[in-house]
Amino acid sequence: MNRFIMALDQGTTSSRTLIFDTQGRVVSMAQKPFTQFFPQPGWVEHSPKEIWATQIATLTEALAKANLDAKNIVAIGITNQRETTILWDRFTGEPIYNAIVWQDHRTADLCETLKQTKKQWIQEKTGLVVDAYFSATKIAWILEHVKGARQKAQQGDLCFGTIDSWLLFNLTKGKVHATDPSNASRTMLFNIHTLEWDQELLTLFDIPKAILPQVRSSSEVYGHTATRWVECEIPIAGIAGDQQAALFGQMCTEAGMVKNTYGTGCFLLMHTGDKIVSSQNNLLSTIAWQLEGKVSYALEGGVFVGGAAIQWLRDGARMIRTAADINNLAAMVEDNGGVYIVPAFTGLGAPYWDQYARGSIFGISRATTDAHIARAILEGIAFQVRDIISQMEKDAQQSCAQMRVDGGASASDLLMQIQADICNTDIIRPQNIETTAMGAGYLAGLAVGFYPNLDTIKSFWEINKTFSPKLDKRKVQEMLHFWNKAILASQNWLA
DSSP 3-state of 59: helix
DSSP string, 448-491: HTSS--HHHHHTT--EEEEE---S-HHHHHHHHHHHHHHHHHHT
Identify whether the C-beta of residue 21 lies closer than 8 Å to the C-beta of residue 468. Answer: no
Identify whether the C-beta of residue 482 lies closer than 8 Å to the C-beta of residue 337. Answer: no
Phi/psi at 165 (5° precision): -65, -40
User: Cα 315–437–2 angle (5° rounding)?
Assistant: 130
The end-to-end CA distance of the chain, in Å, is 61
Is residue 16 part of an annotated ligand binding site?
yes
Identify whether the C-beta of residue 10 lies closer than 8 Å to the C-beta of residue 53. Answer: no
Is residue 242 part of an annotated ligand binding site?
yes
* Element at 10 (helix H, strand E): strand 4-10
Is residue 82 part of an annotated ligand binding site?
yes
Is residue 90 part of an annotated ligand binding site?
no
Is residue 77 part of an annotated ligand binding site?
no
- Cα distance between residue 471 and residue 317, in whole Å: 29
Is residue 417 part of an annotated ligand binding site?
no
Residue 352's nearest CA partner among 305, 415, 310 is 305
Is residue 352 part of an annotated ligand binding site?
no
- Cα distance between residue 429 and residue 448, in whole Å: 29
Residue 168's nearest CA partner among 55, 278, 89, 333 is 55
Is residue 264 part of an annotated ligand binding site?
yes
Is residue 13 part of an annotated ligand binding site?
yes
Phi/psi at 488 (5° precision): -65, -40
- Cα distance between residue 351 and residue 357, in whole Å: 13
Is residue 243 part of an annotated ligand binding site?
yes
Is residue 307 part of an annotated ligand binding site?
yes
Give the chain's count of helices (H) and strands (E).
Answer: 15, 23
Encoded amino acid at 19, one letter: I
Is residue 83 part of an annotated ligand binding site?
yes
Is residue 311 part of an annotated ligand binding site?
yes
- Cα distance between residue 20 and residue 32, in whole Å: 19
Q: Which residues are annotated as a binding site for ATP?
A: 12-14, 264, 307, 311, 408
Q: Which residues are annotated as a binding site for ADP?
A: 12, 16, 264, 307, 408
Q: Which residues are annotated as a binding site?
A: 12-14, 16, 82-83, 133, 242-243, 264, 307, 311, 408
Q: Which residues are annotated as a binding site for sn-glycerol 3-phosphate?
A: 12, 82-83, 133, 242
